[in-house]
Structure 1
């Protein structure tokens, strides 16, 4: 009779990250090379090269629909989920937020306020 034993183990993984600083011309040349290749890694490189969202301004607040949001604070939505500002802006200059704990669940403060508002500032 076959048997199986299940268990868990913890693994520590160390990664080396490379930060590449390019001029616009250099980035265009690298993009041309990447476009000639295929695969998931090349696709991620391509999209990283095309990322054009500007960094967030030094401003500490953003106003939408008469509400002034503190970009250094966290906010809860109508479901009790906590949102925080990412430090990035959308293409049209609106601050981006992410659902705490889920970095890939991001939108703009306007999107979240419309869909899940009202947003309430989390106070310590």
Structure 2
């Protein structure tokens, strides 16, 4: 299923990007449509991006969920007073795992950061 979202990146200047998440079939169809369209600089740029898509590694120290940026090296307190820490899932770096702190056995919960926010949020940074 096709999905699109706007993302804002702040650098020296602010720019807005549209990120498309497409299946392989949707990518082929969009590539076909754009390839058949009139050749404009924007159309050629889109076709090039679809043809030569690159894999981008997520920033290892930050994770953004629902517009809130979380520092993964920090700890966060939930509404119930529990403290959580987070890390990128070693098997899926785009997913962030949760762990209640302190944990003596090193076990990481099945929860992800978005699940913790939904069930116990909002979260407040404590260190």
Class of the TM-score when normalised by the shorter of the 2 chains:
0.3 to 0.5
| TM-score (norm. length: structure 1) | 0.47
* Structure with the higher fraction of residues in strand conformation: 2
Greater radius of gyration (CA): 1
Query: What TM-score, normalized to structure 2?
Result: 0.46
